[in-house]
Amino acid sequence: MTTNTVDDRTPDQPADERERTAERLLRSTAARAYDPELDIDWSAPIAPDAPFMKLERCSLYGTETWRRLTEEQRMTLARHEAASVASVGLWFEHILIRMLAKMAYNGDPTTARVRYALAEIAEECRHSTMFARMIGWMGVPAYRVRPHIHRLGALLPFLARNEVIWGATLLGEEIPDRLQREMVEDGCIQPLMLMVNRIHIMEEARHISFAREELARAVARTPRWLRPIQRLLLAHIAFIISRSLINPEVYRSVGLDPRKTRRIALANPNYQRTLRWASEKLVALFDEHGLIAHPGRHWWKAGYLIR
Ligand SMILES: [Fe+2]
Ligand SMILES: [Fe+2]
């Protein structure tokens, strides 16, 4: 059965163990999945006083520029920053869909692992639809990543192998997940966005646990000579995600110059703390696997993901 398929197991990783995880996640997917087209009331009006994200997580929060903004401008900026983060999430989901499709393409279609990859693709397609509708509902632009980042993103599914696939997946999933969890716990944002976040958190929990297990296996089978290259690639992806979350064009919404204001945001200790906080769990995991080290450590620091 395996003659024409890619079997990347190591001898100490029995097929049963991987299959058991995938079967468990498939059962969970079948039991609890949402269809955002049906499960979210897109005709709901915008709640007049609720912010679109926690204001404390805004890139300018705590700066002199923030103090000069009126309350209304702060709410507007939060709305645009939330749309920017959602747009980046949506962009990354497209990349992830293609990486999962590559895994399914190379794998044995009869395995639970490949069937789970297909189930995850289906979920990510629904998430992208959900975020696209949410951005439309918010009445703001879908902020895109910069053109060269967009092109690099299209290349990633071709370049990524093993731990880069799963490391990149976790970078794209765990950072937004932490921000969304905080918003759900806090409960003070727009009710429709609370629902979007709840759905996403629940379904991403499966994706994250799948990716974490796959990452551990991938790390174990990466040849020593390849590790520095993999670490460097992951560090670059981490840096790009960190820098892309807030598109500088959002500052125009409150009459600020994008380039100048971006510099202020990046120098803002509060925003740097937010980035480190959002990536804290992921950084701990990557550290455990020895993935944050020379060469590449510099990019993690430059992205304000570690000190
Ligand atoms: Fe997703
Ligand atoms: Fe996901």
The pLDDT tens digits for 90-141 are: 999 999 999 999 999 999 999 999 999 999 999 999 999 999 999 999 999 9
H runs (alpha helix) in 160-226: 162-186, 191-221
Compute the distance from residue 123 Cα to the ligand 2 centre, in Å. Answer: 8
Q: What percent of the chain has pLDDT over 90?
A: 92
**pTM, whole model, 2 decimals?**
0.93
Confidence label for 14 from pLDDT (cuts 50, 70 and 90)? low
Cβ within 8 Å of residue 95, ≥6 positions away: 153, 154, 156, 157, 168, 172
Task: Identify which ligand lies nearest to the alpha carbon of 96.
Answer: 2
Residue 186 in this model has a pLDDT that exceeds 90: yes
Cβ within 8 Å of residue 293, ≥6 positions away: 231
Compute the distance from residue 205 Cα to the ligand 1 centre, in Å. Answer: 10
Compute the distance from residue 74 Cα to the ligand 2 centre, in Å. Answer: 30
Q: So what's the pLDDT on residue 4? A: 35
Cβ within 8 Å of residue 262, ≥6 positions away: 246, 248, 251
Main-chain phi, psi angles of 199, to 5 degrees = -60, -45
